[in-house]
Chain A
Amino acid sequence: MSKLSAVRPAFWIAGVLLAASVVVPLLVSTYARDEPRLWGFPFFYWYQFLWVFLSAIAVSISYRLVIHEERKRRAAEGLSADKEGDR
């Protein structure tokens, strides 16, 4: 647990990415309009489809950051390569 101070930057970036991909798609006023259309899709529709991808990318990046930090923490605690546990 004492290693927590060392992991802050990665968790910060992941936190901001995740928060953004929750908050921004919910700001309806920023995208509730018809124009510009893309391949016939009104802006309202294609913008939300775009966010499906952006959110998936944000979660992927967060995953990489968090996993990296967790590996470091577990190594510091002498875990991971341990013997079989409770099942």
Chain B
Amino acid sequence: MKNVEWVQLTIVVLIFVAVTVMGFMAARWRRTGELDSLDEWGLGGRGFGTFITWFLLGGDLYTAYTFVAVPAAMYATGAISGFFAVPYTIVVYPIIFVFMSRLWSVSHRNGYVTPADFVGGRYGSRALSLAVAVTGILATMPYIALQLVGMQAVFETMGLGGDNLLAKDLPLLIAFAVLAAYTYSSGLRAPAMIAFVKDGLIYLVIGAAILYLPGQLGGWDSIFDAAKTKMESTSPTTGKPVGSFIPGEAGYSAYWTLALGSALALFMYPHSVTAVLSTKNRNVVRRNAAILPAYSLLLGLLALLGFMAIKANVDIKGLDGLANPQLAIPRLFDQEFPAWFAGIAFAAIAVGALVPAAIMSIAAANLFTRNIYRDFLKRDATPAQEAKVSKLASLLVKFGALVFVLGMDKTISLNLQLLGGIWILQTFPAIVVGLFTRWFHHWALLAGWAVGMVWGTITAYNVVNPATGKHFGGSLANVPFTDTQVYIGLTAFGINLIVVVVLTLILRALKVAEGKDFTHKTDYLADAGDPGVKDLDELLDEGGTGPAAAKP
């Protein structure tokens, strides 16, 4: 603990305390009822408007990990592994514009809290609903763990850590205990309120960095030239170029499939859906699709900080003496900015980890409560019981993530997060296609999901990192029977779709029974204030033969 940066640390602690107070006060913010149902605790009362949602979704999707990892990837291997995040966040909004308001409407009409609720109601299949729920939880857990990794990078740069085990992990433990406490007491309102601080700080820091640093480092031309020189030099371990400054012809397919696959996956993540369902009417999410690209601009500029770190020649050796590209951005701030401003930047990253971690844990807890606890353990759970189980589950999820980060090697979290993206994409056919048509058979969807999951996992395992010789070496692999390198998630998705279509044709030819559809086609266009579920019940014959309803 010799070289602690006291100025930075003081600023980070002050901002952290302010955020904590906000987190607890949020319980009383925009209160419409008691916090004893999932609508209140888990979805913030389903009343957020365009403005709050812009901050909430921005704080939710553009996580601390993203802010550390994207420039780190730019620093280490250049455009293909880093800058694809820009087309990714460009194409995601037109895509969600098309389907997200339908998911909002049907969820609002039927009281759905999670994407698995919708799948269960649409296809009348608890098995499929369980598959979607389990995938969501599996994909979210490592993502929460990675938020901690972002925080750790900041703490390490401030000089916290070292050989003393307790001192090394104590800041993280405190931060997470506090986060768990106010998420428990305030639910989704806590991250919604803190998101204002987080996003404000991030815009401030990136704005200052973009205006100030190029002048310090000799201008954009020389920053890009330094990056170009590094990327085109030959790596001693692989004998190939270090990375890509601008993708060559062989990298085109990798670049666009990473962007498209990640874009399709993003709003399948339960934390994205949670934020969307907390909005107050059908159009909030569509309006946000038009204004959220402001964050994409931010992310693109942030990615370029990775190139600035190359030009600034930052030292990325961790306290353990090993090179760690994740430290590139914290070290760049530490080196180029006065201590007080670096403190603000670090606070932005640390608070930036809290917002998504809170929403992710709420989303995972909601999945557990609605689609495992209520569907399989306690069929007659009351809203108050659901809220209670969800609160406890959110604690458990965070605790699990913490044990994960402290107890295991960081690379395991990274591998699992890589797999999480591939996995979550496999729920796309059931969720998104289900919003438009029920043509896909629910058994076919389940089979396609299983094939996509297994194929994606095996293929990702077989990618060996040429430098370290370890498995899960990256997210790219050749399309079967070709030598075109693409994102594994997207290939798995393609195989998934083929299986679904072929099996649907077979199952329909064999006239295998379909599940019961608990939704009505008018549900998909309904808006807040429309005549509610009452008239819907008359349209549906009660007590069908299909599996249990996912309707409350």
- The answer, yes or no, to whether B286 is at the interface (CB within 8 Å) is yes
Write out the residue numbers on chain B whose beta carbons fall within 8 Å of the beta carbon of A53: 293, 297
> What does the 1/0 interface line of B518-546 toward A look like (CB < 8 Å)?
00000001111111111000000000000
Binds A, one of B3-11, B197-205, B252-260, B389-397: B252-260
Are A22 and B91 within 8 A (Cβ)? yes
Are B246 and A42 within 8 A (Cβ)? yes
Are B224 and A42 within 8 A (Cβ)? yes
Task: Determine the distance from Cα of A54 to Cα of B79 in the docked complex, in whole angstroms.
Answer: 21
Are B283 and A48 within 8 A (Cβ)? no
- The answer, yes or no, to whether B109 is at the interface (CB within 8 Å) is yes
- The answer, yes or no, to whether A7 is at the interface (CB within 8 Å) is no
Task: Determine the distance from Cα of A42 to Cα of B227 in the docked complex, in whole angstroms.
Answer: 12
Write out the residue numbers on chain B whose beta carbons fall within 8 Å of the beta carbon of A80: 527, 529
- The answer, yes or no, to whether A52 is at the interface (CB within 8 Å) is yes
- The answer, yes or no, to whether A12 is at the interface (CB within 8 Å) is no
- The answer, yes or no, to whether A59 is at the interface (CB within 8 Å) is yes
Q: Which of A39, A67, A73, A87 contacts B46 (CB 8 A)?
A: A87
- The answer, yes or no, to whether B296 is at the interface (CB within 8 Å) is yes
Write out the residue numbers on chain A whose beta carbons fall within 8 Å of the beta carbon of B224: 37, 40-42, 45
Write out the residue numbers on chain A whose beta carbons fall within 8 Å of the beta carbon of B529: 80, 82-85
Q: Which of A39, A63, A85 contacts B286 (CB 8 A)?
A: A63
Write out the residue numbers on chain A whose beta carbons fall within 8 Å of the beta carbon of B534: 86
Are A56 and B219 within 8 A (Cβ)? no
Are B247 and A52 within 8 A (Cβ)? no
Task: Determine the distance from Cα of A61 to Cα of B255 in the docked complex, in whole angstroms.
Answer: 28
> What does the 1/0 interface line of B207-221 toward A look like (CB < 8 Å)?
000000010000111
Binds A, one of B82-90, B164-172, B269-277, B354-362: B82-90
Are B291 and A56 within 8 A (Cβ)? yes
Are B220 and A40 within 8 A (Cβ)? yes
Q: Which of A52, A58, A66 contacts B296 (CB 8 A)?
A: A52
Are A86 and B533 within 8 A (Cβ)? yes
Write out the residue numbers on chain A whose beta carbons fall within 8 Å of the beta carbon of B533: 86
Are A21 and B94 within 8 A (Cβ)? yes
Q: Distance (Å) between the CB of A31 and the closest chain B CB?
A: 9
Are A28 and B97 within 8 A (Cβ)? no
Task: Determine the distance from Cα of A44 to Cα of B83 in the docked complex, in whole angstroms.
Answer: 10
Task: Determine the distance from Cα of A41 to Cα of B39 in the docked complex, in whole angstroms.
Answer: 47
Are B249 and A29 within 8 A (Cβ)? yes
- The answer, yes or no, to whether B290 is at the interface (CB within 8 Å) is yes
- The answer, yes or no, to whether B304 is at the interface (CB within 8 Å) is yes
Task: Determine the distance from Cα of A44 to Cα of B89 in the docked complex, in whole angstroms.
Answer: 16
- The answer, yes or no, to whether B93 is at the interface (CB within 8 Å) is yes
Which residues of A (6-60) have their CB < 8 Å from a CB of B?
17-19, 21-22, 25-29, 32-34, 37, 39-42, 44-45, 48-49, 51-53, 55-56, 58-60
Between A and B, how many residue pairs show CB distances below 8 Å? Answer: 137
Which residues of B (219-246) have their CB < 8 Å from a CB of A?
219-224, 228, 245-246
Q: Which of A21, A29, A84 contacts B90 (CB 8 A)?
A: A21
Are A49 and B297 within 8 A (Cβ)? yes
Task: Determine the distance from Cα of A28 to Cα of B352 in the docked complex, in whole angstroms.
Answer: 31
- The answer, yes or no, to whether B98 is at the interface (CB within 8 Å) is yes
Which residues of B (284-341) have their CB < 8 Å from a CB of A?
286-287, 289-291, 293-294, 296-297, 300, 304
Q: Which of B83, B89, B111 contacts A45 (CB 8 A)?
A: B83
Interface residues on A, range: 35 or more
- The answer, yes or no, to whether B95 is at the interface (CB within 8 Å) is yes
Are A85 and B532 within 8 A (Cβ)? yes
Are A45 and B287 within 8 A (Cβ)? no
Are B221 and A62 within 8 A (Cβ)? no
Q: Which of A32, A40, A63 contacts B223 (CB 8 A)?
A: A40
Task: Determine the distance from Cα of A55 to Cα of B91 in the docked complex, in whole angstroms.
Answer: 8
Write out the residue numbers on chain A whose beta carbons fall within 8 Å of the beta carbon of B251: 28
A40-B220, A82-B531, A86-B109 known; A55-B46 Cβ under 8 A: no
Are A32 and B94 within 8 A (Cβ)? no
Write out the residue numbers on chain A whose beta carbons fall within 8 Å of the beta carbon of B304: 45
Which of chain B's residues has its CB closest to A60's CB? B290
Write out the residue numbers on chain B whose beta carbons fall within 8 Å of the beta carbon of A44: 79, 246-247
Write out the residue numbers on chain B whose beta carbons fall within 8 Å of the beta carbon of A82: 529-531
Q: Which of A18, A19, A48, A83 contacts B300 (CB 8 A)?
A: A48
Write out the residue numbers on chain B whose beta carbons fall within 8 Å of the beta carbon of A59: 93-94, 97, 289-290, 293
Q: Distance (Å) between the CB of A6 and the closest chain B CB?
A: 15
Are A28 and B247 within 8 A (Cβ)? yes
Task: Determine the distance from Cα of A46 to Cα of B522 in the docked complex, in whole angstroms.
Answer: 44
Q: Distance (Å) between the CB of B543 and the closest chain A CB?
A: 22
Write out the residue numbers on chain A whose beta carbons fall within 8 Å of the beta carbon of B528: 85, 87
| New contact pairs (18) apart from A34-B228, A82-B529, CB-CB < 8 Å | A18-B94, A25-B259, A26-B256, A28-B252, A32-B249, A40-B223, A41-B224, A44-B79, A51-B90, A52-B86, A55-B91, A59-B97, A66-B286, A83-B529, A84-B529, A85-B529, A85-B530, A85-B531
- Contact sample, A vs B, 26 pairs, CB 8 Å cutoff: A21-B91, A22-B95, A26-B87, A26-B91, A28-B251, A28-B252, A29-B252, A34-B246, A42-B245, A44-B247, A45-B224, A45-B304, A48-B83, A48-B90, A52-B90, A52-B293, A56-B93, A59-B97, A59-B289, A63-B289, A67-B286, A79-B530, A85-B526, A85-B529, A86-B533, A87-B532
List the 4 closest pairs (A to B, CB-CB), nearest first. A86-B532, A40-B220, A40-B221, A85-B532
